Structure 1
Amino acid sequence: MTNDTAPDDDGLQWYRALGPDELPERRVTAVTCGGTTVCLTHYDGQYAAIDNACPHQGGPLGEGSIENGLLRCPWHGWDFDPLTGQSPGDHDDCVLIYDVEERADGIYVGFPADEPRERTVSDVMVETMTNWGIEHVWGIVGHSNLGLADAFREAESRGDLSYYGVRHEGAASFAASAYGKLTGRPAACFSIAGPGATNLLTGLWDANVDRSPTLALTGQVATQVLGTGNFQEVDLEAAYGDVALFEQTVLPSSDHAELMTRAAKTAILEGGVSHLIFPDEVQTISAASAEVGGPDGRLTRRDIAPPAASVEEAVDLLSSAERPLIIVGHGARFEMEQVVELAERLDCPVVTTFKAKGQLSDHHPLAGGVLGRSGTPVASHFMNESDLLVVFGASFSNHTGISEYKPTIHVDRDPMVLGKHHAVDVPVWGDVGVAAGQFTEHLKDSLAAKSQRAEVADRWDIWREEKATRRAQPAERGVNYATVFDAMSRLLPDDAILPVDVGNNTYAFGRYFECADHTVLMSGYLGSIGFAFPAALGAWAATQEPNSPFAERPVVSVSSDGGFGQYMGEVTTAVKYDMDLTHVLLTDNELGKISKEQRDGGWPVWQTDLVNPDFAAYAENCGALGVRVESPDELEDKLTEALDHEGPALVEVLTDTNPV
């Protein structure tokens, strides 16, 4: 309700703060005028405007009351004259007072002409952050991070970054982690001190164990009260000690640009979480002439060649193998061209770990699908029949299904991953793409390997016939998993980005969905329920980058009701930022995977049932498109409607609880 006028002869900028007779006698209210909040008082027939912040603890005077002729602070009861801002008696406490005029159309408050915004420590660090290419931030603005938030606002106004306000900090960290997994570049998550910072931890552990470059920026209580048990004080260095590869509290005397540089560089080079803690008052320290940092001269090329002796040992094994099998993990995601060239030279199948699903199209004539618990019979067949495993960028998780007794070549850029769980025949330390290229280059003209191309096609024919029989099986209710993922395989755009959750729905996705040029994102080693929808927020941000390889690609996330229920409030985030994404929600009204584990382990099924709303109606209530599928004959039309919708859409599909 504020109307700007030109500055008058005294240099004051006047704002209309209240309408005539809007504030009753002996009442107070807080009004924001031109970015400044003041306490308006009406007492003894006069109006006054005083600073809204009590000088003792910052209490909001506009939420106080006039008692016995004095304005009382609502936080600790200190009194001030409601017209002059003076404290009674001998106290010299006082509150800044502003000029007030009563005019025909209301009450006006005069402010000194705006001073230029002062550059702060937060500005220096945010400018350094964006110089390092960290251009997306998900978070929640709050009382202990306002200085840093204002630096984000300034950077966003310049077009240097995009900020997304979420409903829960866990969604912020999952979004940042998913962005890092997709692009290989870091994004940031942002919170207040205390509970906001602790809420980030689950998503940050996801980034940690999946080696996704991520920056966590948390507020903190003022340095003068650190260690005193102040309101919302948590020892964040201790809380983040295991999850963060780099961590530092930002102090007044810190080299602020260098701290951000170290944080960004660590996240990028080591693949994981960097954490910076911003005490409240440090965020607004003046830094008018401070220089910013950036990556120039601070990063080296990382396409490191393996030792020649390792290449020679690997090539000897490759040359003599009759049925080699290539296995790729998530660590090979940006190097698949060289890996596929090697596979074509050997004419051997390529299978993936579940986390690497989609890194090679299932329609490639040498693709063998996913190996392990979420995998296909195609992949397990070639694992059983192989006489040599060539493993790129995988870490041999117990879910993966990589046989330990087979002769093995293992390539990874992290030497600690090589032979992590058991000895391998040839550990090769180096860049995946460089190593695969050198293997191909040094292979002999005559190889022992026999072409397995026709066998790959035969095994897919067998599996696809089996899938057809499973689609024909009646579901307990709604639509069975095989039918859902068959429809999605046919109807989704070939280049869709697919964040998926955990649970029966994800096991079925791994088994039944056939990837074309899709990119799959998941919570790999952490296996956190609730990942999919926040990850879709992170993936969508990457699609908005005009020069990105992910630009304008569709985002379609998948979860069950158990996972979606954890972050369903983020539908409003997708609506707020008009995110064009689709969520496929498979509803079975229980934590189906846990029920299965209870049954398989001889336990009674207990406390896994869920009480759900109509999720499609919920999405509509949030402002998104919501459609509901209750039978197989509705599936394709409803899924197509959601995919064609411009903006956020949710397809709720009623399913049975059996993922087979």
Structure 2
Amino acid sequence: MTEQDLAWHKAIDADALDDGEVTMCPAGLKTVALTKLDGRYGAIDNRCPHQGGPLGQGTLENDKIRCPWHGFDFDPFTGEAAGGPDFNVRTYPVEVREDGVYVGTPTPAPHPRTVSDVLLETMTNWGVDTVFGMVGHSNLGLAEAMHRAETAGKLRYFGIRHEGAAAFAAAAYGKLTGRPAACFGIAGPGSTNLLTGLYDAKSDRAPVLALSGNVDSSVAGKGAFQDIDLLAAFADVSVYSAMVRSGSDHAELMTMALKHAILDRGVGHLVLPDEVQILEAPEQKSSGPQGRMPDLRVSPPAAALQQALELIATATRPLIIVGAGAKFDMPAVVVLAERLNAPVLTTFKAKGQISDAHPLACGVLGRSGTPVASWMMNKADLLLVFGASFSNHTGISPYKPIIQIDTDPMMLGRFRPVAVPVLGDVGVTAAAVLDAVRPNPALVDQRPEIADRWSVWRTEKARRADKQLGGRVAAATVFEELSRLAPADAVLTVDVGNHAYSFGRYFETTEQSVLMSGYLGSIGFGFPAAMGAWAAAPDRPIVAITGDGGFGQYLGDFTTAVKYDMNITHILLNNGELAKISEEQRSAEYAVWQTSLHNPNFAAYARDCGAYGRRVTDAQDLSSAITEALSHPGPAMVEVLTDPSNH
């Protein structure tokens, strides 16, 4: 090797290494074991050829470097191994200069295209450009391919503090956009930590790609370190899960994972053994969605549509209920509602899909809902249900005639028969009904009644918001102020707990999008979901709404938001208790037990992390605090002390 072939890198300062000491030093992309012995410096490859032990973490004994893992001895200047020439390691030239000790390493050769590159190219061809994850020892080959894709501007990678946060962020991204983001972990616990967030995606039918590094195939199944059967672990949570092997059609496996995630609206999962990630694949072609994705906007069958039209023609007080399945088709549904003078109620998951300022909007139906919605449902003589799952929390009346419209045949009449099950795209079906509907001549204009019910409810909300709690702020006050101040185009991510019920009742939406852990109801969702929403829509205001219990589960990832300068405003309702559980214990006539929480000053914690943080104990300060936080360019937290018995 000539001098011209070398790249020189400063390893350490000249006085940093004592005589008789060895240390690990980065030298470009190489890591060397650098030794100072009798005033001389020597640099050899840091990796022991036995099992990769870090020689720079070893000791100098008898003028030899002893590997810390298995005791192999190496000459610090020649790289010769006591075990014979088959174990010799490479040496690198060293120069002592005025400003430090330099090591010369070969100029890196062009990186060969690998299986991981093929997978990443296919993933980005499908439009997946966002990854939340944690890099570790069994996913380094795939991580390096992500690094190359990020450098090329094809990928954004967000390193999180807990893989559960990565999965929640990816799930929220899918819920907001209908498109998958990826979450990424290592073998064993790194991948099992993903499962709760992935079950949230499964339960709420959000597309997500999960990528798991795995142990080397040669030790898999032998009880090696972090060796678990990831295909078995992910079998229930995923709609597709596959092991990527050396002889696999790698691009097609990624295409299968993403096609299933998008069309089945769930988790596509791939497992990559350590050695497969770095296999060279110079001739393999990447894949993509071209010619693989059907138009899903299918029309309803003519007979079912006719049945629905005939039933609508008999109704004088029809009512529309929309679920999260109608999220991307609300304009067509609203036009139909206006034609029928039909009140529009939402499930909790669908909150915000119609502005509460619309004269036909009645807010949320069910346990988290408004008395406006329940009143109007009780008066209805026909329910048109678009994209809803009939959860027991929603409380759709089973005693009224129901027309149910959904793209999934298994959702139709899911729990009990409905009058007319209609298989079809929500938007296409709403437009088809609008085009052919002949309303009952006696159709009631329900707008005045809706306005009256809102007037009654808003008066009651104002009464509750005026309560003075002495060092605490009423939840109704928090959401009255947030209703007034939240930008119309904001994305609101809501955690699980009493604050969520208060949000459902009291917060009035305009054009905001609302994300929550609907069917899984997982505490801890709120703040990681805000990170996912920010990645999906960085130009929109993002507001996380959590309790102290939920935020406590992922408070470490507040530093992730600071690291990436995520513009997230966090409204944290701190009542010092898992108050919803306390309520359930009282309801069951149990003693309240083990629901109290020992909390830090969360606002101070936010400031310690490098963000805006302000604690509010007086309702008079709430407006200015929320206003300041919303205008802060970066992560901001308003911690509001609330009363656990008031929501």
TM-score (norm 2): 0.98
Q: Which residue of 2 aligns with 1:312?
A: 306
Matched, 1:594 2:581: yes
Structure 1 contact 86–92 (Cα < 8 Å) conserved: no
Matched, 1:142 2:129: no
Task: Give per-residue Cα distances to partners, 1:348-374, cap 9 Å, x unaligned.
Answer: 100000000000000001001100000
Matched, 1:616 2:603: yes
2:474 to 477, 480, 498: 480
- Name the SS for the 2:545 alignment partner: strand
Question: Cα distance 1:89–1:167, how it changes in 2: closer, same or farther (>3 A)?
Answer: closer
Distance 1:138 1:37 in 2: 27
Q: Which residue of 2 aligns with 1:191?
A: 185
Structure 2 contact 321–386 (Cα < 8 Å) conserved: yes
Higher mean displacement: 36-45 or 645-654: 36-45
Which consecutive unaligned segments of at least 5 residues does structure 1 have? 1-6, 545-551
Q: Given residue 216 of structure 1, which amino acid in structure 2 is its aligned partner? A: A
Q: Which residue of 2 aligns with 1:272?
A: 266
Q: Which residue of 2 aligns with 1:3?
A: none
Matched, 1:285 2:272: no
Q: Which residue of 1 aligns with 2:114?
A: 120
Distance 2:274 2:482 in 1: 48
Q: Which residue of 2 aligns with 1:568?
A: 555
Task: Give per-residue Cα distances to partners, 1:70-109, cap 9 Å, x unaligned.
Answer: 2111112222122222122656311111122334443222
Structure 1 contact 496–556 (Cα < 8 Å) conserved: yes
Q: Given residue 290 of structure 2, which amino acid in structure 1 is its aligned partner? A: D
Structure 1 contact 319–449 (Cα < 8 Å) conserved: no
Q: Which residue of 1 aligns with 2:616?
A: 629
Structure 2 contact 314–440 (Cα < 8 Å) conserved: no
Distance 1:54 1:523 in 2: 48
- Name the SS for the 1:511 alignment partner: helix
Task: Give per-residue Cα distances to partners, 1:455-504, cap 9 Å, x unaligned.
Answer: 11111111101111111233364100111100000011111100000110
Distance 2:3 2:617 in 1: 71
1:529 to 511, 523, 533: 523
Task: Give per-residue Cα distances to partners, 1:371-425, cap 9 Å, x unaligned.
Answer: 0000000000011111111000001011011011110000100000101101101
Q: Which residue of 1 aligns with 2:148?
A: 154
- Name the SS for the 1:578 alignment partner: coil
Q: Given residue 143 of structure 1, which amino acid in structure 2 is its aligned partner? A: H
**Matched residues, number:** 647
Q: Which residue of 2 aligns with 1:547?
A: none
Structure 1 contact 625–642 (Cα < 8 Å) conserved: yes
Q: CA RMSD in A?
A: 1.3
Task: Give per-residue Cα distances to partners, 1:23-80, cap 9 Å, x unaligned.
Answer: 1111101111112111101223321111111111111111111112221111122221
TM-score (norm 1): 0.96
- Name the SS for the 2:161 alignment partner: coil
Q: Given residue 411 of structure 1, which amino acid in structure 2 is its aligned partner? A: I
Instruction: Tell me by how many angstroms 1:10 deviates.
Output: 4.3
Matched, 1:230 2:250: no
Instruction: Tell me by how many angstroms 1:614 deviates.
Output: 0.4
Matched, 1:422 2:412: no
Q: Which residue of 2 aligns with 1:469?
A: 463
Matched, 1:17 2:4: no
2:507 to 513, 535, 548: 513
Q: Which residue of 2 aligns with 1:654?
A: 641
- Name the SS for the 1:277 alignment partner: strand
Q: How does 1:87-486 map to 2 (within 5 A)?
A: 87-88=81-82, 90=84, 92-444=86-438, 447-475=441-469, 477-486=471-480
Question: Cα distance 1:594–1:22, how it changes in 2: closer, same or farther (>3 A)?
Answer: same
- Name the SS for the 1:321 alignment partner: coil
Question: Cα distance 1:89–1:160, how it changes in 2: closer, same or farther (>3 A)?
Answer: closer
Structure 1 contact 142–191 (Cα < 8 Å) conserved: yes
Distance 2:76 2:43 in 1: 9
Matched, 1:538 2:525: no
Question: Cα distance 1:362–1:231, how it changes in 2: closer, same or farther (>3 A)?
Answer: same
Q: Which residue of 2 aligns with 1:43?
A: 37
Q: Given residue 264 of structure 2, which amino acid in structure 1 is its aligned partner? A: E
Distance 2:438 2:100 in 1: 90
Q: Which residue of 2 aligns with 1:549?
A: none
Task: Give per-residue Cα distances to partners, 1:443-464, cap 9 Å, x unaligned.
Answer: 1265442111111111111110
Task: Give per-residue Cα distances to partners, 1:125-151, cap 9 Å, x unaligned.
Answer: 001101101110000011111111111
Structure 1 contact 138–166 (Cα < 8 Å) conserved: yes
- Name the SS for the 1:217 alignment partner: strand
Q: Which residue of 2 aligns with 1:548?
A: none
Task: Give per-residue Cα distances to partners, 1:492-522, cap 9 Å, x unaligned.
Answer: 1111100000110000000000000010000
Structure 1 contact 221–233 (Cα < 8 Å) conserved: yes
Higher mean displacement: 390-399 or 443-452: 443-452
